[in-house]
């Protein structure tokens, strides 16, 4: 039982030692997020998606209760 406890503590210590991202990882993550946002913006502002959203809103506002 002591060996297992010692092993768990050692593993937990090693995991805590590498808890954050480095500057280069932040830079890559930021670039990836910006690229995803640009693609999403292009998709949402495309004519087909705008027409579908407008149709969806029109149908929702014209619903009869």
The Cα 45–Cα 37 span in angstroms is 12
Identify which has the larger pLDDT, 37 or 62: 37
pLDDT of res. 63: 80
pLDDT of res. 42: 94
pTM: 0.50
- Reported as a single tens digit per residue, the pLDDT across 13-49 is 776 655 566 788 889 999 999 999 999 999 989 999 9
Write down the H helix ranges in the chain: 2-17, 23-44, 47-61
Distances (CA, A) of 42 to 20, 24, 51, 52, 56: 32, 27, 14, 15, 19
pLDDT of res. 16: 64
């Amino acid at each position: 039982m002591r060996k297992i406890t010692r092993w768990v503590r050692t593993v937990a210590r090693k995991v805590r030692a590498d808890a954050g991202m480095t500057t280069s990882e932040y830079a890559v993550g930021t670039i990836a997020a910006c690229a995803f946002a640009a693609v999403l913006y292009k998709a949402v502002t495309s004519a087909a998606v705008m027409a579908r959203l407008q149709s969806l809103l029109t149908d929702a506002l014209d619903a009869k209760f």
